[in-house]
Chain A
Amino acid sequence: MKTIWIIAKRELEIFFDSLIAYIILGLFLGFSGFFTWLYGNDIFLVGQANLRVFFSIASWSLFFFIPAITMKMLAEERKTGTLELLLTKSVSDRQLILGKFLGSVLLVCIALLATLPYVITVSSIGNLDNGGTICGYFGLLLMSITYTAIGIFASSITTNQIVAFMTALFIGLFFHIIFGVLAQNFTGSIGQIFETLNLQSHFESISRGVIDSKDLVYFLSITVLGLYLGESSLSKRHSS
C-alpha cells in the first residue's frame, strides 16, 4: 500500500509541476463553466436551484479530460525506459498500475473539488437539494474511476501518448454513447443487454439520487476489468 501511495504522490507532484496540468485543468473548468453558466441550455433556464445541468455537462468534459490525464501514465514510462527502472525496484506490476490509477483519480478529484464554488453559488440563489448534489458528485466520481481505469489500460498497451488518448476515447465512446444508441435500436433481450452496458443510464440513475447496488457493481466491475487488463499487458513482457 505504501508503494502505491509513493507512486501516486509522485504523479501528483509532477502533474502540478508542469504547465500542461494547468492547461488541462483550465480547459476542464472552462468547458464545464461555459456550458453550465453561459451558453445554451444553462442553469438559469431550468429555474430551479439544482446542479443537474452541471452534472450532465461535467460527464462530457470528464469524458475528454480523463484520457488526457491518463494517456501518459504508462505510455511515457514505456517509451523513455523508466518502466524498466520502476519494475526492477521493489514494485510489482499490480502496485504500479494501482499507483498510477490512484494518482489519476486524485487528480480528477482535485478537478472536481475546483467546481465546489458552483455549489456555493447555486445554494446562495435558492434552496439547494443537498442529497441530489452529493449523489451527483458521487455519480461523477464513479464515472471518473471507470474512465480512469480504461485510460490506464489504453496507456499500458502503447508507447505513444496520442494513441493512448485516442484508444481511451474510442473505448469510452462505446460506454458513453454507442451502447445507448444500440439499446434504443434493438428490442427484447439484446436491447436489454445494451441498456445494461450503457454508462449514461447508470450515471443518470445515480445522479437522480437513486444509489442502487446494480449501478455500483456496473462501475466497479468495469474499473476492475480495466485495471486487470492493464496489469496483464504490463506482464506480457515476461513471455516472448
Chain B
Amino acid sequence: MDIQIEKLTKTYGPQTAVNDISFDVKTGEVLGFLGPNGAGKSTTMKMITGYIGFEKGDIQIGGKSVTDPTYDLKRHIGYLPENNPLYHDMPVIDYLEFCASLQGIEKQNINKRIREMVGVCGLNSEKHKKIGELSKGYRQRVGLAQAMIHDPEILVLDEPTTGLDPNQIIEIRKLIRDLGKEKTVILSTHILPEVEATCDRILIINRGKIVANGTSETLRKQSQGNEKLKLRIEDGKADKILKSLRTLDTVQSVACIEQNQNVFEVQSLVEQTSKRNVFNLCVQNKWVLTELTPLETKLEDIFRNLTVK
C-alpha cells in the first residue's frame, strides 16, 4: 500500500508543528524520518496512523483518504508509538492476544500469530512474565510484536531500536529491511548510521518542513561540494610543503592540521581532483606520501548543516 501525503499542516494553538509537507512512500520501501527533537516527526506519524487529525492537506493510504470514516484503515497499519506505552500489569502472551483480537484476527489464527511474533521478536524466554517485569529492551520487543501481530501492510515505527542491545539492534534492523521488501515502512530515529543501514530513502524534517528528501548517496552528493583530501607527507619541512601545495593549479585552499606530523587538508577547485598533482609534487621533491584519504561528508554533517540554522 502506498502512502501519499499532500500539503499536510497541523498546528497546536499558536505553534505550527507540521507545515505544508508533501511526500510519498511506495510499497517495498523503507523511509527513514530524521529530524531534531520537536521537528514534527512524531506528529506526522500520529497523523498517518489516524490518532490525531489535521487542519489542511490530505493523507491517502492505498488511494483512499484517512479521513474517510467508512474506511477501516487501522487494520492495515502497525504502529509502535514513541516511548512504547504498554500495559505493565498484563503478561506478554495475554497482551499480544488482546492486541490480536482487537485487530480482528480470527480466533483460530491468534495463537499461530502469537507464536510467530514471539519467535521473530525473541520473546520466548520472557513470554509468561508480566510486561512490567521486563527490561527495557524486552519491552521494546513486545512493542514491535504488537505492531506486527496482524501482519499489516504498513508499519509506522517511532524510534524502534531505543533500548535494545547491539546484537538486538542488528537483528531488528535486518527484520525491518526484510519487512520493507514487501511492506511500506516508515521509521523515525535519532541514530544516523541506523538510517543508512536500514532505509532506502531519507527524509529530513526541521521545524515542520522537509529540508531533504532522497537516498543517502544523493544527499551526500548534494552537500559534498568540492573534493577534500587529507594528506600526510614525510621527509619535508611543513612550511615548504604548504607553499608548494598552494601553487598547484587544481587546489583551492590548503590547511595544515598538525604541524609536527605534516598532516594537511587540501580542498580542490570545483569539479577538479588534485590527487595526481599531489603525488607528482611529492615525487619531484622526493617527499614520501604516507597518507592520502578522500574526506567524505558524513550524514551527521549533512544533518547538522540542514537543521542547525
Q: Would you call B223 an interface residue if the criterion is a C-beta within 8 Å of the partner chain's C-beta atoms? A: no
Taking a contact as CB atoms closer than 8 A, the residue among B49, B85, B94 that contacts A81 in the complex is B85
Q: Would you call B52 an interface residue if the criterion is a C-beta within 8 Å of the partner chain's C-beta atoms? A: yes
Cβ proximity bits A12-36 to B, threshold 8 Å, 1 near / 0 not: 0110011000000000000000000
Q: Would you call B72 an interface residue if the criterion is a C-beta within 8 Å of the partner chain's C-beta atoms? A: yes
> Please, how many residues of chain B have a CB less than 8 angstroms from a CB on the other chain?
32
CA distance A20 to B95 in the complex (A): 21
Chain A contacts of B52 at CB under 8 A?
A: 237-238
Majority DSSP secondary structure for residues of B touching A: loop
B55 and A89 form a contact (CB under 8 A): no
A84 and B46 form a contact (CB under 8 A): yes
B102 and A91 form a contact (CB under 8 A): yes
Cβ < 8 Å to B, chain A residues 63-91: 80-82, 84-91
Q: Would you call B83 an interface residue if the criterion is a C-beta within 8 Å of the partner chain's C-beta atoms? A: yes
Q: Would you call A189 an interface residue if the criterion is a C-beta within 8 Å of the partner chain's C-beta atoms? A: no
Chain B contacts of A6 at CB under 8 A?
A: 98, 101-102
Q: Would you call A240 an interface residue if the criterion is a C-beta within 8 Å of the partner chain's C-beta atoms? A: yes
Q: Would you call B50 an interface residue if the criterion is a C-beta within 8 Å of the partner chain's C-beta atoms? A: yes
B98 and A88 form a contact (CB under 8 A): no
Majority DSSP secondary structure for residues of A touching B: helix
In the complex, which residue of chain A has the Cβ closest to the Cβ of B82?
A: A81
Chain B contacts of A90 at CB under 8 A?
A: 72, 74-75, 102-104
CA distance A84 to B102 in the complex (A): 14
Interface positions of B (Cβ within 8 A of A): 10-13, 46, 49-53, 55, 72, 74-75, 77, 79, 81, 83, 85-90, 94, 98-99, 101-104, 146
Chain B contacts of A89 at CB under 8 A?
A: 74, 99, 102-103
A240 and B81 form a contact (CB under 8 A): no
Chain A contacts of B46 at CB under 8 A?
A: 84
Give 14 A-B contacts (CB < 8 Å), ordered by A residue: A6-B98, A6-B102, A14-B90, A17-B89, A82-B85, A85-B79, A86-B102, A88-B79, A88-B81, A89-B103, A90-B75, A91-B102, A239-B53, A240-B55
Q: Would you call A184 an interface residue if the criterion is a C-beta within 8 Å of the partner chain's C-beta atoms? A: no
Chain B contacts of A237 at CB under 8 A?
A: 51-53
B101 and A240 form a contact (CB under 8 A): no
Taking a contact as CB atoms closer than 8 A, the residue among A81, A86, A239, A240 that contacts B83 in the complex is A81
Chain A contacts of B88 at CB under 8 A?
A: 80
Chain B contacts of A13 at CB under 8 A?
A: 94
Nearest Cβ distance between residue A140 and chain B, in whole angstroms?
29
Nearest Cβ distance between residue B126 and chain A, in whole angstroms?
18
CA distance A18 to B88 in the complex (A): 12
